[in-house]
Amino acid sequence: RPILDMSYSRHFLDFQGSSIPSSMKKLVVTKLSQNFREAVTLQQDSPVPLPGDGDLLVRNRFVGINASDINYSAGRYDASVKPPFDIGFEGVGDVVALGLSASADFTVGQAVAYVKAGSFAEYTVVPAKQAVPLPSVKPEFLTLMVSGATAYISLKELGELSEGKKVLVTAAAGGTGQFAVQLAKKAKCHVIGTCSSDEKGGFLKSIGCDRTINYKTENVESVLRKDYPEGVDVVYESVGGRMFDLAVNSLATKGRLIVIGFIAGYQNPTGLQPVKAEFLPAKLLKKSASIRGFFLNHYLSEYKMAMKDLLKMYERGDLVCEVDFGDMSLEGKFTGLESVFRAVDYMYMGKNIGKIVVELPHSVNSKL
């Protein structure tokens, strides 16, 4: 008979009595809705999943909030997926158990990051081939997984950046905007960033932004027309609606607009705010301009290389990875899965500077 000896699993699953519980908390989409609080339920006693042969069981210590969490819980990414399903795209934590094949490359106690649906849970099973080994468990590493990689790959593949180009970054002080600003500066471009407060403007200047535009106190269109009469060469656009129209109008000859999102429409039932599309062909033709969409899942072949480069830059001190734990929010720091709801609200109110991260504390009796 085939030898199916699971006795090794005890060795992997119980690292020095790390006492992995049998049940855990996790967030689950139980109803499709663009209202995150309506769509998602906190389950208190879900079974802790077991890793298969090539898997790691990761105890999540930090999870990242993304604008697209709402698109996912509204069912906009894959209409064939029906509730209930797990949510959360990225996490950083410790390996607390692993399968035999996975043990060739990872060990229990190792710090890892990953991008995979189901991170809004105390424990997540991650295929070893999708895990990124880290020197330590730090929330800064989490900022790179989706937000940093999106900026890096989209600008590299679609931005055609070169010295002296003018780059406009919308929502520049947000999770991914902060990286678009810094990477465009590294390419010796002139960077303009839109934001919603003077505090955010100060942060943007600190990471090298040449011109900040506070859209609450300045008219973005007027500023761009006056200061950049020839237009901008590249727009890194994540807002949508009126900001998209304005960005199209401000493109230079042969300018490129990269759509990485349209957060202004995510909480709408239709998911989109109207844009003035009827004039779009004429506007693009007149300027030989282009609009490109970017969705990270379509560029996973570039992902490992991007992460390697981003991690190197961070460790050399060449990249600021700003984390926002919500310390300034009304109810304080985002701690525990129940605070994911507050964290999503905080992002949609435009309060964050940098990447919003939720910390998941674990009981002190754990040896890890």
Could you read off the pLDDT of 350-359 as tens digits, one per residue? 999 999 999 9
The two structure tokens encoding residue 350: 């435009």
Phi, psi of 318 (to 5 degrees): -95, 0
Q: pLDDT below 50 — which residues of the chain? A: 1-8, 10-11, 14-17, 364-368
CATH assignment of 147-297, among 3.40.50.300, 3.40.50.970, 3.40.190.290, 3.40.50.720: 3.40.50.720
* Superfamily for the 23-137+322-359 domain: Medium-chain alcohol dehydrogenases, catalytic domain (3.90.180.10)
Contact 18, 93 (CB under 8 A): no
Strand partners, 35: none
* Per-residue pLDDT, 354: 98
Contact 193, 213 (CB under 8 A): yes
Could you give the CA distance from residue 277 to residue 281 in angstroms, rounded to a whole number?
A: 8
Tell me the domain boundaries of the chain.
23-137+322-359, 147-297
Tell me the per-residue pLDDT of 120-178, one tens digit each, with 9 for 90 and over: 999 999 999 999 999 999 999 999 999 999 999 999 999 999 999 999 999 999 999 99
Question: CA dihedral defined by 322, 327, 328, 331, rounded to 10 degrees?
Answer: 140
The two structure tokens encoding residue 233: 């060469």
Element (H, E) at 125: strand 123-127
Could you give the CA distance from residue 71 to residue 52 in angstroms, rounded to a whole number?
A: 30
Contact 64, 143 (CB under 8 A): yes
Phi, psi of 240 (to 5 degrees): 85, -175
Strands of the sheet with 166-169, listed across from one edge:
211-214, 190-195, 166-169, 232-237, 251-259, 290-293
Count Cβ neighbours within 10 Å for each residue of 215-247 and write b for 16 or more, e otherwise: beeeebbebbeeebeebbbbbbbbbbbbbbbbb
* Per-residue pLDDT, 17: 47
